[in-house]
Structure 1
């Protein structure tokens, strides 16, 4: 199930749905301080600037906010009494999260989740309507209980990646396809590349390319201001 929390136009209060209480509190503490800093930095016109911010897709690697990886979308929003605050939609992934992302159809999932987030804010959906839409959103290969996972290929890939010197042989079973081993090696490289990091990307004004940023852990105050700013200023060098 996709959890979500934050502010929506249909309600005056902060909402938490289908998220572990401790996880929601850690995210809320980060956003509360980040929004407060952004408000001071952006000045009197901060609300107008904030509401023009793009939606960002995100990946939080294990250890950033939870022992599990988390993927989702953050969108600028406002509550029923006019207080600006983000709304965050997220899904926790299982242990082999990188391998799941390699195999799963996440591009379509992110696009649909963005659409739900936009409509929730723009059409003033209530929490029940949002929950209903999220329940129908599945990730091909990610929501299947029996998602294929080749433990033998994973073990061999780990051994090759970590312990085999150049030129040392590795026994590869005849029934194990080379592309399966390649997928596992790619997953291991992905895990190590983004270890302890958060990755954020958005489609950009012309939808011709994605703008991607990555940070060590959650974005700090300055990094958050880069995300929650109109696109014209979100492309500042880092």
Structure 2
């Protein structure tokens, strides 16, 4: 039905963009609700990055890292999405990224998808890199994506929205069944607070490249075009990003002793 959200059970991972063995755009299993947001946004981001970087653009693009993302519902249709964005090019030398994306169950907490989906994302990334390097055909890439196991997703707790009186001090409370569920509760708190602040938001993370340090990004909706070049260059100060600081270790408390 028009406007109906796509469920994770309805589609396998899809793809959109360009590959060296193909002469033009390729699209598999991604609905129009996703593509009519994603395609023009990517086109605008590429145009902005070319304008901002000038002669340095091509090298920055070709050496940019693969970015993984989670989108909450309301950004690219009414379905949450998880996927990867990889720099690529078509057979005749036209540059455009390749996107692989998979629908998540409604209500999925993006932070739990980030923490539990790494094996799925690793597998998808390996397939994408093999296709980029010519080790896989488009058909083999497509088959490999369809054969991936379901991407794990954990629904966020249902909540009741309460509007406080103007200027009244404000805090949040989330019930706990047992204290051992505190790590999941922390993810839930983050998600619910960000929904309250942003309505819809996206997470982006990458292992980095020579130019870009490993990073986790969070923004309302999709990154704005003026902020996008930093995903290629790592120049967060010039990209309308608020840089929160240095790398966090496994302990989250600084460098290990």
TM-score with structure 2 setting the length: 0.70
Q: Equivalent residues in 2 for 1:98-117 (5 A)?
A: 98=109, 101=112, 105-117=116-128
Q: Which runs of 5+ in 2 are unaligned?
A: 1-11, 164-169, 242-257
Provide the aligned C-alpha RMSD in A.
Answer: 3.3
**Where do 1:47-66 residues align within 5 Å?**
47-66=58-77
- Secondary structure of the structure 2 residue equivalent to 1:213: strand
Residue 201 of structure 1 corresponds to: 205
Give the CA deviation at 1:217.
1.1
Indicate if the aligned counterparts of 1:8 and 1:124 stay in contact, CA closer than 8 A. no
Q: Distance in 2 between matches of 1:140 and 1:26?
A: 22
- 1:220 paired with 2:231, answer no
Shift of 1:14: 0.7
Q: Do the aligned partners of 1:11 and 1:126 also contact (CA within 8 Å) in 2?
A: no
Does the 8 Å CA contact 1:105/1:139 hold for their aligned counterparts?
no
Alignment pair present for 1:44 and 2:48: no
**Greater fraction helix:** 1
> What is the rounded CA distance, in whole Å, between the counterparts of 1:180 and 1:95 in structure 2?
25
Take 2:122 and 2:23, find their aligned partners in 1: how far apart are those partners?
A: 27
Which whole-Å CA distance do the structure 1 matches of 2:28 and 2:113 have between them? 28
The alignment of Structure 1 onto Structure 2 pairs a total of residues equal to: 213
- Give the aligned partner of residue 211 of structure 1: 215
Could you tell me which runs of 5 or more consecutive residues in structure 1 were left unpaired when the two chains were aligned.
Answer: none
Distance 1:27 1:222, change over 3 A: same
